[in-house]
Amino acid sequence: MSADPAYVSRDDTLQKAARMMDDLSVGVLPVCVNGRLEGVVTDRDITVRCTAAGTDPTEGKVADAMSQHTQWCHDDDTVDTARAMMAERQIRRLPVIDADKQLVGIVSLGDIATKSGETARAGDTLTEVSNPSEPDRR
Low-confidence ranges of the chain (pLDDT < 70): 116-138
pLDDT at 116: 60
> Hey, where are the domains in the chain?
2-130
Q: Does the domain at residues 2-130 carry the CATH identifier 3.10.580.10?
A: yes
Model pTM above 0.85: no
The pLDDT of residue 63: 96
List of long-range contacts for 28-33, beta carbons under 8 Å, 24+ apart: 28/93, 28/106, 29/5, 30/5, 30/95, 30/103, 30/106, 31/7, 31/62, 31/63, 31/66, 32/7, 32/8, 32/103, 33/9
Task: For 75-101, write each residue's pLDDT tens digit.
Answer: 999 999 998 999 898 888 999 999 998
